Structure 1
Amino acid sequence: MQTETHDQTLTPNSPALLRKTGLVLARIHPLLAEQGIIPNEVQRQMLASHVKAMVWRSHSGESLPEVDLSLFEEISPLSLRLAEQVVAWLDKLAYEEAHLLSVHFEVAKENELSSLKGDI
């Protein structure tokens, strides 16, 4: 899917959208770090991919497939609250987007718990 903006066709890989993705990620990492949540390299890559898709949906208006929110019952209130903050930084995103994003935060939050328990 492409969207026309100012006589320029935007795609998910357009420089303007990649810059926006970088800016959002630059805000996410300190937000998570304030809570002691430090994603590992693989988690950072997966988060970056999701944020890139979110930025695209924000610009294109593309909607998410239907999401069953009951699948997210085990997500901590902290992860969901942080994800809601991030989703609020972008326009035209569905409420469910925060639930999907919160999974990335929750998984990264488990890194600290695993290292404290000696699992890593």
Structure 2
Amino acid sequence: MQASNHGLTPSSPQIARKSTDTLARIYPLLAERGIVPNDVQQQMLASHVKAMVWRSYSGEALPEVDLSLFDEISPLSLRLAEQVVAWLDNLAYEEAHLLSVHFEVAKENELSSVKGDH
């Protein structure tokens, strides 16, 4: 579905609604695994999800991504991100790698609080 055919823009209510719905599914998915993004991480995640939703509608391509940059991402974070990306149509495989960074960073919150490193 090409956005230009539907008169959508990144600020269209439909994009905002889909972004909100997607985030509403992401937080419980993360929470089931003890991953709780802090306020700043939630803002960054919301911004990324909105951009992903827009790319899903617009067909806009991602810039080329070097997947070797994501070698430090845990299999869990990548698997969760792949699950989320599958909820949206027309997204590149690399999208999951970019999203997984948000999950990985939030996952570290739990590790730091368990260790007592605030």
TM-score (norm 1): 0.95
The Cα of 1:4 is off from its aligned counterpart by 2.9
TM-score, normalised via structure 2 length: 0.96
Aligned mates of 2:5, 2:42 — CA distance in 1: 30
Partners of 1:12 and 1:4 lie apart in 2 by 14
Q: Residues of 1 paired with 2:14 and 2:56: CA distance?
A: 13
Please identify which structure carries the higher helix content.
Answer: 2
For structure 1, the 5+ residue unaligned runs are none
Alpha-carbon RMSD across the aligned residues, in angstroms, is: 0.8
Which residue of the partner structure matches residue 15 of structure 1?
A: 13
Query: Which residue identity lines up with residue 82 of structure 1 in the other structure?
Result: L
Amino acid across the alignment from 1:16: Q
Q: Which has the higher strand share?
A: 1
Q: Which residue of 2 aligns with 1:103?
A: 101
From 13, 31, 34, the equivalent of 2:32 is: 34
CA distance in 1, matches of 2:39, 2:5: 34
Counting aligned pairs with the same residue, the percent is: 79
Deviation readout 1:44-87 (Å, 9 max, x if unpaired): 00000000000000000000000000000000000000000000
Question: Which residue pairs with 2:4 in the alignment?
Answer: 3
Q: Which runs of 5+ in 2 are unaligned?
A: none
1:34 to partner: Cα distance:
0.3
Q: State the Cα distance separating 1:118 from its structure 2 match.
A: 1.1
CA deviation profile, 1:71-117 (whole Å, cap 9, x unmatched): 00000000000000000000000000000000000000000000111
